[in-house]
Amino acid sequence: METAVFALFAALALVSALVVVLHRNPVYSVMSLVVTLVSLAVLFVLLGAPFLAALQVLVYAGAILVLFLFVLMLLNVERDEGAAGGRWGQRVGALAGALLFGGLLAVLAWGGQVARALPAPGPGDVGLVALARELFTTYLLPFEIVGLLLLAAVIAATVLARKPGEEGR
Amino acid sequence: MTAELLGTAAKMGLWLVALLSVVPIMVWVERRGSALIQDRRGPNRVGPLGLFQALADAAKFLFKEDIVPAAADRPLYLLAPVLALVPALTTFVVIPFGPDVEVGGRTVRLIVANADTGVLLLLALASLGVYSLVMAGYSSNNKYSLLGSVRASAQMISYELALTLSVVAVLVPVGSLRLDDVVRAQQGGLLDWHVFPQAIGFLVFVVAAFAETNRLPFDLPEAESELVGGYHTEYSSMKFALFFMGEYMSMTTLSALGATLYLGGWHLPGIPFPDHWLGAALTGFGILMAKVAAFMLFFVWVRWSFPRFRFDQLMRLGWKVLLPLALLNLVLVAALTVGGWL
């Protein structure tokens, strides 16, 4: 039963991820990304982390991708605008992607020799209470810094989006 | 295993029947209610008091011509109305509707899925509802539909924040995400209902619930006087009816959530629940549904009493009034909880 569910949603995640990259219409790409994220959420549940799964759907699928769609529809992006940065940009991007993928594969293949495996989390380690305790004790500083970084990004975006001379409004 | 599956199926069946019968009842309540408020008679010809009007409407929907616009994006256009029902038909699973009962020697919890993540699961599934509106508007290839969708996406995201924050404030004193525990925390007496210590949170929740279900005064995604029909302009026949049903079912689920979070859920002070008695299940469900009905009547009352907001007013209310209020409420509740007063 569990294996069947895993196989189904792993396949769904892979196929929809491919559609994200290959489809010519950006709206379809975003919709496929929703499917990918929801399938990954199901895999999280199978791994015993239902809290992460709920957050994944709530934050990424339910909010961030809606904003993607909002921007796409607001700018009325026509199908197949071509990738940003032209041919060169595409090549550099492809190279970087290949390097990253190769690196991940290498870690998978030889990771045991260079890095120590983390202990498998127990059932109490992925729950809400354990997660919150870690976040607000061990990782408090990184957590706050990430929050500050997001705030800085929001302010920067607002400043960039404003045309000069609009300060008074 | 089989008995468990059967029990789950029975519980889901009860909910499905309730949710599906809510739609015709609400159509009648809405039309007769609006007539009452506007000093008209309303539909009163089909059956006693016009009660069968909804059935006539349903038959009409079934026999209407089903049109797919030539310029529509066909796959998305067909998928959108189906998706409208997905959150409506899944979110009820985490709402408890009665005390534990004993059936055939085993204790049964009256909740379909008592997941650890509880209310988060509900919010996550409900947050997917906006895709149906967005898809419908985009795929219709019609400028009014598109405008409706753009509005829907901005509105849902904005009010989801306030809604979630008000829900979080309820969970702080309870100390659990399970709605089961939320109900248990309110069983002392009437004053234990969360609506009293968290009146601000309740206000924010109700206002945000109107925006999340696209009901007047926040029905800007359809706004018939400016956008024809908004996101569902191009939909006809049963496809339109699915959007319609989705809206009423989402109202029901949000009402049930509101009743569970703030009004004691299936519990009512003074009504005894002899443990493990099967009739208690129906009593609990009846009490929950009565509270849901009160919410729904309020939805209808407000719809026919207030004019529609302008979009900038809607955004200002969401971000500059409701969000700070929800945050204030959260801080207050957290402080009171730490101080031991809640």
Over pLDDT 90: what percentage of chain B?
6
Q: Look up tokens 């069968």; give the residue.
A: B52
DSSP state of A120: P
The alpha helices in B213-310, defined as continuous H runs, are 224-227, 237-262, 278-303
Determine contact, residues B80/A69, Cβ cutoff 8 Å.
no
User: What's the pLDDT band for A126 if we cut at 50, 70, 90?
Assistant: low
Q: Do B127 and A53 touch (CB under 8 A)?
A: no
Q: What pLDDT shows up at residue B247?
A: 86
Whether residue A114 has pLDDT greater than 70: no
Q: What pLDDT shows up at residue A37?
A: 92
Residue of B82, B134, B145 to mutate when probing chain A, most A C-beta within 10 A: B134
- Chain B neighbors of A127, CB-CB under 8 A: 116
Q: Give the CA-trace dihedral at B325, B330, B336, B340, to 10 degrees.
A: 160
Average pLDDT, chain B: 84
- Chain A neighbors of B121, CB-CB under 8 A: 50, 54
Cβ–Cβ contact A71 with B under 8 A: no
Cis, peptide link before residue B173, omega less than 30° from 0: no
- Chain B neighbors of A50, CB-CB under 8 A: 115-117, 121
Determine contact, residues B247/B214, Cβ cutoff 8 Å.
yes
Alpha-carbon span A24 to B24, nearest angstrom: 42
Q: Dig out the tokens for B62 from the structure.
A: 């079934």
Over pLDDT 70: what percentage of chain B?
97
Whether residue A128 has pLDDT greater than 60: yes
Residue of A58, A60, A131, A158 to mutate when probing chain B, most B C-beta within 10 A: A58
Q: What pLDDT shows up at residue A123?
A: 61
Q: What pLDDT shows up at residue A141?
A: 92
Per-residue pLDDT of B248-267, as tens digits, reads 888 888 898 999 888 887 88
Q: What pLDDT shows up at residue B14?
A: 83
- Higher-confidence residue: B146 or A126? B146
- Higher-confidence residue: B135 or A149? A149
Residue of B128, B139, B167, B315 to mutate when probing chain A, most A C-beta within 10 A: B128
Per-residue pLDDT of A30-83, as tens digits, reads 889 999 999 999 998 888 778 888 888 888 888 888 888 888 877 766 655 555
Q: What pLDDT shows up at residue A36?
A: 93
Cβ–Cβ contact A62 with B under 8 A: yes
Q: Which of A27, A17, A35 is nearest to A79 (CA)?
A: A27
Taking each helix axis from N to C terminus, what angle separates B237-262 and B278-303, rounded to the nearest 10 degrees? Answer: 110
Q: What pLDDT shows up at residue A166?
A: 60
Q: Look up tokens 């957050």; give the residue.
A: A55
Q: What pLDDT shows up at residue A113?
A: 65
Report pTM. Answer: 0.84
Per-residue pLDDT of A15-27, as tens digits, reads 999 998 888 888 8
Per-residue pLDDT of B43-95, as tens digits, reads 888 878 878 888 888 888 888 888 888 888 888 888 888 888 888 888 888 88
Cβ–Cβ contact A50 with B under 8 A: yes
Q: What pLDDT shows up at residue B6?
A: 82
Q: What's the ipTM?
A: 0.80
Chain A / chain B CB contacts < 8 angstroms: 72
Q: What pLDDT shows up at residue A87?
A: 76
CA distance B162 to chain A (A): 13
Q: Look up tokens 């029902």; give the residue.
A: B85
Cβ–Cβ contact A57 with B under 8 A: yes
- Chain B neighbors of A79, CB-CB under 8 A: none
Q: How far is CA B150 from CA B108, B220, B323, in A?
A: 45, 10, 21
Cβ–Cβ contact A74 with B under 8 A: yes
In this structure, the number of other CB atoms found within 10 A of the CB of residue A113 comes to: 6
Specify the amino acid at residue B178.
R
Q: How far is CA A41 from CA A55, A91, A165, B123, in A?
A: 9, 32, 46, 14
Q: What is the gyration radius of the CA atoms in chain A, in angstroms? A: 20
- Chain A neighbors of B135, CB-CB under 8 A: 31
Determine contact, residues B237/B81, Cβ cutoff 8 Å.
no
- pLDDT tens, position by position, for chain B (342 residues)? 677 788 788 888 888 888 888 888 888 888 888 888 888 888 888 878 878 888 888 888 888 888 888 888 888 888 888 888 888 888 888 888 877 777 777 777 778 777 778 888 888 888 888 888 888 888 888 888 888 888 888 888 888 889 999 999 888 888 888 888 888 888 877 777 888 888 888 999 999 998 888 887 888 777 777 877 778 888 888 888 888 888 888 888 889 899 988 888 788 877 777 666 677 777 888 888 889 999 999 988 888 888 888 888 888 888 899 999 999 999 998 898 888 777
Beta bridge partners of B101: B108
Alpha-carbon span B339 to A31, nearest angstrom: 46
Q: Dig out the tokens for A5 from the structure.
A: 């569910």
Q: What pLDDT shows up at residue A12?
A: 92
Q: What pLDDT shows up at residue A78?
A: 61
Residue A38 region by backbone torsions, left for phi larger than 0, else alpha for psi between -120 and 50, else beta: alpha
Q: Look up tokens 């009325």; give the residue.
A: A76
Nearest to A57 among B115, B128, B153 (CB): B128
In this structure, the number of other CB atoms found within 10 A of the CB of residue B47 comes to: 14
Alpha-carbon span A42 to A51, nearest angstrom: 11
Q: B101-103 and B106-108: which strand pairing?
A: antiparallel
Q: What pLDDT shows up at residue B310?
A: 85
